[in-house]
Amino acid sequence: MSKTKVHNHQHDVVIVGAGGAGMRAAIEAGPHAKTVVISKLFPTRSHTGAAQGGMAAALANVEEDSWEWHTFDTVKGGDYLVDQDAAEILAKESVQAVIDLENMGLPFNRTPDGKIDQRRFGGHTRDHGKAPVRRSCYAADRTGHMILQTLYQNCVRLGIEFYNEFYVLDLVMNTVDGEERPSAVVAYELATGEIHIFQGKSIIFATGGFGKIFKTTSNAHTLTGDGVGIIWRKGLPLEDMEFYQFHPTGLAGLGILLSEAARGEGAILRNASGERFMERYAPTIKDLAPRDMVARAMANEVREGRGAGPHKDYVLLDLTHLPPEVIDAKLPDITEFARTYLGVEPYTEPVPVFPTAHYAMGGIPTNIKAEVLRNNKKVVPGLYAAGECACVSVHGANRLGTNSLLDINVFGKRAGIYAVEYAKTAKHVPVPKDAAKDVLELIEMMQNSTGTEKVAVLRRELQDTMDKNAQVYRTEESLDEALEVIADLRKRYQNIQVQDRGARFNTDLLEAIELGFLFDLAEVLVVTSKERRESRGGHFREDYPERNDEKFMVHSMAYKTSKNIKVDWKPVVITNYPPMERKY
């Protein structure tokens, strides 16, 4: 028997994750049901706070706009792999989502007549691609920070119950009426090393992304995909995992994000000779083309020898023609990043940039009520997912900038509403006696390990192979190489070393467990990337460079089986927009 203390809690709605989606759900659920939020971090540390540029909504405050144009842009931006019913909801409900935030206190930038100001962003256009449109509602270049703060402030106002620095490691399912249903989650309390079982009628996963499978990433150290990994280990499917977004403008060598808002305000990408190369790749909207196209164009400039710098391995983001007062008012944070981390003065010098792993389009499949799918048709009653960890799918093969802050608000809210609705009539699913067994075993095995392999070494080797083989450009060969490396690393992971034997704040143990989730998700990404023998959105196969609608106008659905990974396919929901060639 384990000596570790196990605590039991019971709520109506259990929310895992305290970023934008989790807290937006909590604000909806809290007043109507006994709600708890469990978070690996103190809520305002969540990575929503790192989002910069804005939140899309066709308010039409500064020029003509419509939710229908926004829907079209989202579908086209996603290279037609977007479920169009979901995109329509995203665009339609965006206006209310922004008003909700304003009413909650969010300090948006304002127009001279006091309305919420809006600016341009990649892929957002007027009248189906005619010209860029000002659709992004923003608060300087810290919109995500303001959303995260505002949502937390309102959770404080509502007295929402939080368990912070609690690390959820397992989802407990139990069979009721012949069907597996969610019963509880099992969490590890970082401060004490004790275990907590949180039983809920409805359970919402809002656990964010997993950028740490890559070396160069804008993602936080804590974004290790634990939530998505937990769902995966339960044998539930993951959707469209091959679609990972590389944001064009990461600080070269570091991956720290420089918002697309810079280009929205007029910044220009240039190669070593100073050429505005996006004119060749996207003649109409140039630097404001969607992220996948810009990232590939940049990588291509470097590959063909037109990169800047001593090793010709980056391109330049030029803001020098923008008035310093515009930079200070609208882009203060990102220009400070350039000064702090690269010692570059953006007023007078162009900033070295290169694509950085940024956002998972794929994840836990859900329907438009944020209910988690068990397969192509059936849901898991009482289980919900929202935000980056989920795949509705509103982002398809490539997400448009400013649609993720929107996604967390629209589908976070929906998750909260439908979780409450379900909890009103549902009964708690009984928690099995040995609910914490797997977690206790995992922790004890790690803590008593006598292994010699260092977490940081294995993680770095994983990240190296992912950057080398599964990044902007992919081939059958490169993906096979990645799979071999991952298989080898998994073997070495059996011999993992945890030096910290203590119970309190054992972040050494935590990193070892996180690494296991990183392996799982990297492998699913590579396997689905192999199966998708075409190029679409963020997924580019050099050996299959064309989009192939005949065969691959479908979502991938990956399942963990006892032996390997099985990849199935799910139809795309098409309502108004038949697939067309994607040109900008």
Partner 1 sequence: MSNAVAENTEIGVVPSFTVTLFVRRFSKEDGLEARWEDFDVTVHGTDRVLDALHKIKWEQDGSLSFRRSCAHGVCGSDAMRINGRNRLACKTLIKDLDITEPIYVEPIKGLEVEKDLIVNMDPFYQAYRDVKPFLIASDKPKAERIQSPEDRERFDMTTKCILCAACTSSCPVFWTDGQYFGPAAIVNAHRFIFDSRDEAADVRLEILNDKEGVWRCRTTFNCTEACPRGIEVTRAIAEVKQAILRGKP
Min dist. Cβ of residue 295 to partner 1 (A): 20
Residue 5 binds partner 1 (CB under 8 A): no
Min dist. Cβ of residue 33 to partner 1 (A): 21
Strand 6-16 and strand 195-205: pairing? parallel
Distance CA 197, CA 10 (A): 8
**Facing residues of 371 across strands?**
384
Distance CA 98, CA 139 (A): 12
Binding mask 194-233 for partner 1 (x = CB under 8 A): --------------------------xxx-----------
Mark whether 306 is an active-site residue: no
Residue 495 binds partner 1 (CB under 8 A): no
Q: Is 224 within 8 Å of 212 (Cβ atoms)?
A: yes
Which residue of 504, 551, 566, 583 would you call a contact of partner 1, by CB under 8 A? 504
**Facing residues of 6 across strands?**
195
Q: Is 427 within 8 Å of 478 (Cβ atoms)?
A: no
Interacting stretch for partner 1, rule CB under 8 A, among 70-78, 235-243, 249-257, 411-419?
A: 249-257
Q: Phi/psi at 40 (nearest 5 deg)?
A: -65, -25
Three state DSSP letters for 116-133: ECEEEEEEEEECCCCEEE
Interacting stretch for partner 1, rule CB under 8 A, among 44-52, 276-284, 296-304, 539-547?
A: 44-52
Q: Phi/psi at 354 (nearest 5 deg)?
A: -155, 150
Q: Which is nearer to partner 1, 108 or 584 (CB)?
A: 108
Interacting stretch for partner 1, rule CB under 8 A, among 38-46, 196-204, 226-234, 513-521?
A: 38-46
Helix (H) or strand (E) holding 43: none
Distance CA 486, CA 36 (A): 36
Q: Which is nearer to partner 1, 457 or 487 (CB)?
A: 457
Q: Is 314 within 8 Å of 302 (Cβ atoms)?
A: yes
Interacting stretch for partner 1, rule CB under 8 A, among 84-92, 443-451, 492-500, 539-547?
A: 492-500
Q: Is 425 within 8 Å of 32 (Cβ atoms)?
A: no
Min dist. Cβ of residue 146 to partner 1 (A): 6
291, 296, 399, 547: which one is catalytic? 291
Min dist. Cβ of residue 502 to partner 1 (A): 5
Which residue of 175, 340, 495, 576 would you call a contact of partner 1, by CB under 8 A? 340
Distance CA 543, CA 374 (A): 33
Which residue of 17, 49, 264, 538 would you call a contact of partner 1, by CB under 8 A? 49
Min dist. Cβ of residue 331 to partner 1 (A): 14
Residue 146 binds partner 1 (CB under 8 A): yes
Which residue of 142, 263, 474, 547 would you call a contact of partner 1, by CB under 8 A? 142
Which residue of 456, 562, 563, 581 would you call a contact of partner 1, by CB under 8 A? 456
Rounded to 10 deg, the angle between the 20-29 and 143-158 helix axes is 30
Q: Which is nearer to partner 1, 199 or 224 (CB)?
A: 224
Distance CA 301, CA 448 (A): 50
Residue 351 binds partner 1 (CB under 8 A): no
Nearest by Cα to 317 from 337, 559, 304 = 337
Beta carbons within 10 angstroms of residue 401's beta carbon: 31
Tell me which residues touch partner 1 (CB under 8 A): 41-42, 44-47, 49-50, 59, 98-99, 102-105, 107-116, 139-140, 142, 145-146, 149, 153-154, 156-157, 191, 220-222, 253-254, 256, 309-311, 333, 337, 340-342, 454-456, 497-508
List the catalytic residues: 291
